[in-house]
Amino acid sequence: MDYLKLQGLQSVSGNIKISGAKNAALPLMAMSILAKNNIKISNLPNVADINTLLTLLTNLGAECKKDLNSVEINTSNIKEIIATYDIVKTMRASILVLGPALARFRHCEVSLPGGCAIGQRPVDLHLKALEQMGATIEIKSGYIDAKAPDGLKGCEIVFDKITVTGTANIVMAAALANGVTTIVNAAREPEVVQLCEILNQSGVKIDGIGTAVIKVHGNNGELVDMIDFSVIPDRIEAGTYLCAGAILNQELTITNTEPKHLDAVLSKFEEMGFIIQTTDSTITIKPTSSIKPVRITTQEYPAFPTDMQAQFLALATQADGVSIIEERLFENRFMHVSELQRMGADITLNGHTATINGRSKLSGTDVMATDLRASSALILAALVADGETNVHRIYHLDRGYESLETKLENVGVNIKRLKE
């Protein structure tokens, strides 16, 4: 098993190129099930979750030809969808094949998903919506057995709470449904927007893209002539590397990014005193004379993202004063706190709220990653820790960050990947 060894108190300079967004690429790859043609996806991040979904598609009968950062997918030879536990257990996003598979084949079996242990992320909303569209769904031996022998029917779906994968799943299902499907309380994340835009450009009419009410005009089972496309930049990776510059209080530039996707994050950096400079595709963070404390509440896009909470919590340990971070989306997403405390962070938890007393002098030690974003928080803390830090169980990290140690090495960080 791999781990990362970091020497703290390093200087950084230069720029880091941001990879394609994992959370955009996964639904876009699942969307290939709706295509009648061979499609090419570019700017694909080379991370574990992408390879897991490619394995799933290949096992189902798709032809997948992958280069380092692109893939060609042809799903015309898939005859049925049975997504087994062996694949699905490692990645919750496997549930994204449910909507398009049911719409195309009118029957599919998908194992209940696994993935990060950051709290309940039930698929009830997906299943309820598909039932409203005419599907019959049974849970049998850990599998979702979904049938729609007469095809899916357009209807109005009101999500009780905003769900990113739920919105993506139902948009894909609705693309082949008979009639118009209206999704109320839809997710507005850039990753959902890109999915809708690609389908729209491929001939599936979608109204309200980027709003909370999306209308998908289904084409009654006719497969889609899909365009080739490039995955949007990863806004969470971008935010993470900006946190690296921030926690060291040094200038750092990220390239191949989309600043408008990070408005809520950039505003928090500015509240903390950092100067942010942007172009159409770059963001530069500049140091401040004093890192100010901050108050953050995680919410759905366009508010502050839960996937940046752990990184800002690490950053807040270096602020001059008391910061408050409230996690409203997942109930177990403070598991990195105990590891940061071992490094010397002064953090108090009360339910869904973390109080961070800065500025803490952190010391290097052995720490263990508990989920994907917690991994990056520990690496950020290691950058300012006195001495050597070993971050273990980085298979979590490899699910979502492409070549992290190489990118950090290139800007001056002393970091090495080693074997246990």
The residue annotated as part of the active site, out of 108, 116, 196, 243, is 116
From CA 417, how far away is CA 408, in angstroms rounded? 12
Query: Do residues 401 and 415 touch, judged by C-beta distance below 8 A?
Result: no
Helix, strand, coil tally for the chain in percent (to 5): 35, 25, 40
**Given the structure tokens 């049925």, which residue do they identify?**
80
From CA 368, how far away is CA 394, in angstroms rounded? 8
116 catalytic per annotation: yes
pTM: 0.94
Instruction: Establish how many alpha carbons lie within 13 A of residue 155's alpha carbon, considering only the half-sphere containing its beta carbon.
Output: 15
End-to-end CA distance of the chain: 6
From first to last of its 420 residues, what are the pLDDT tens digits of the chain? 999 999 999 899 999 999 999 999 999 999 999 999 999 999 999 999 999 999 999 999 999 999 989 999 999 999 888 887 777 777 777 889 999 999 999 999 988 865 433 334 468 899 999 999 999 999 888 889 999 999 999 999 999 999 999 999 999 999 999 999 999 999 999 999 999 999 999 999 999 999 999 999 999 999 999 999 999 999 999 999 999 999 999 999 999 999 999 999 999 999 999 999 999 999 999 999 999 999 999 999 999 999 999 999 999 999 999 999 999 887 667 889 999 999 999 999 999 999 999 999 999 999 999 888 889 999 999 999 999 999 999 998 998 999 999 999 999 999 999 999
Q: Which residues pair with 144 in a beta bridge?
A: 110, 139
Dihedral of CA atoms 402, 404, 406, 412 in degrees, nearest 10, equals 150
From CA 326, how far away is CA 193, in angstroms rounded? 26
